[in-house]
Structure 1
Amino acid sequence: MLMMMMITFLIIMISNLLMFISMLISKKSFLDREKCSPFECGFDPKNSARIPFSLHFFLITVIFLIFDVEIALIFPYILTFKFINFIMWSFMVSFFLIILLLGLYHEWNQNMLNWTN
């Protein structure tokens, strides 16, 4: 048990050290105007390099990713069907699907699924 705690402590210390080193290395200087501007053949840019994007499109993609991951989490339920009893399996699958449907209902109520507002 002591060995496991020491290994856990060592892993935490190494990961914290690596995060600290990467934070030190990745510091960027915002003082130089040339480094902050986008490169356009050496000339000053004519318009902003930060083009606006649709926040609604971004939220739709996040919802898609969440449900895509949820489908990947459903696949192991098929494999566990043989190894556990049917009542426990059906309870787990029903609970998981109810949580998914509640999330979908919440997003529908918030009008997140309507493309045009």
Structure 2
Amino acid sequence: MIDLSQYLPILLFVLIALGLSVLFVVAPMAVSRLTGVHNPDAEKLSEYECGFPAFEDARSQFDVRFYLVAISFIVFDLEAAFLFPWAVSLGETGWVGWSGMMVFLFILAVGLAYEWKKGALDWE
């Protein structure tokens, strides 16, 4: 017979998470409905992110440079995230860890030079 008592902490965790989600998500919505705070009008339902109504189709194409800069930001952000643990553990990894990071940084530098040469970082 299978012993399911080991799954009791997981079941308790799921029940507590479900209870907290109901408490923090569903309960405020229910209270606002019951107290009459929920009163949408045209102003509340209007656009609020940019301050004016959309004037083009939501599926319009963006310039590819936007995506290249976004991807570059993510890549160099991850580079910084890799450099901190590498710097801390450099004493233990030695020359192998140092040379591996130099190869990684060289590949990133080549990618940055390629983007720069192609004009992906130039804005008009």
Q: What TM-score do you get using the length of structure 1 for normalisation?
A: 0.49
Q: What TM-score do you get using the length of structure 2 for normalisation?
A: 0.47
Q: Which has the larger radius of gyration?
A: 2
